[in-house]
Amino acid sequence: MSEGKIRGRNLVKSGRFPDDWESDWKRRGSQGGKLRQTDPKYGHYLLLNGQAVYVQSIAIPSFSTLQFDKVEYRVGFQYENWGDGKLAKVVLKPSNGEEDPIPLSLGENAGTLAEWRPYLEHTTNVLQTDTVIDLEIHGSDKTGSSGLRTTDFDIQIHLLPLKLKSLKLDGRDYSSARSKADVNAVFS
């Protein structure tokens, strides 16, 4: 079996901001501005500035205690902090209200931020009792054409790789207790 990752269903709805994106994302407060734009390479994106905040509450599946110990929630997205404004961030907030911020302003993620960059595989902590997690996008403090541009939001559930306990073929048991040479002999 391949060591590559198998992608599951994205838990984020409208993560690329299609025409009806506001049915899944809700504005929090009245501060700042928003603008949905299109980039030739990245497609639709959302520009937030003046500290505007948009939130999506994401229902997360429940797991048994044994399963939950082997689950990770990984978040990825593309962003650009146009104008290098401060206070730009993405925040993950599980049901317990504890914030998991991802700062996206100059100084926190040094470098030239006037270019699209991936932010991939941020692992967030989720409690077994959580039923939802809020995904918040916080625009920078700049206004006008400056602000935080984001797209491609994705939350994936990652499970530990499966381990073979036993293999039964043609009525014969090839359990993991047998040597690999025994099992390989059957398949050669």
Q: What's residue 2's pLDDT?
A: 44
Mean pLDDT value of segment 17-34: 96
144 secondary structure, DSSP code: T
Domain boundary assignment for the chain: 21-187
CATH of domain 21-187: 2.60.120.260
Give the pLDDT confidence of 36-54 residue by residue, as tens digits.
Answer: 999 888 899 999 999 999 9
b/e per residue, 166-187, with b = 16+ CB within 10 A?
A: eeeeeeeebeeeeeeeebeeee
Residue 111 pLDDT class (50, 70, 90 cuts): very low
Q: In what order do the strands lie in the sheet with 100-103?
A: 26-28, 53-59, 132-138, 89-94, 100-103
Q: Which residue has the higher pLDDT, 183 or 93?
A: 93
17-31, 134-148, 172-186, range with the lowest pLDDT: 172-186
Residue 86 pLDDT class (50, 70, 90 cuts): very high
| Cβ–Cβ < 8 Å for 161, 130 | no
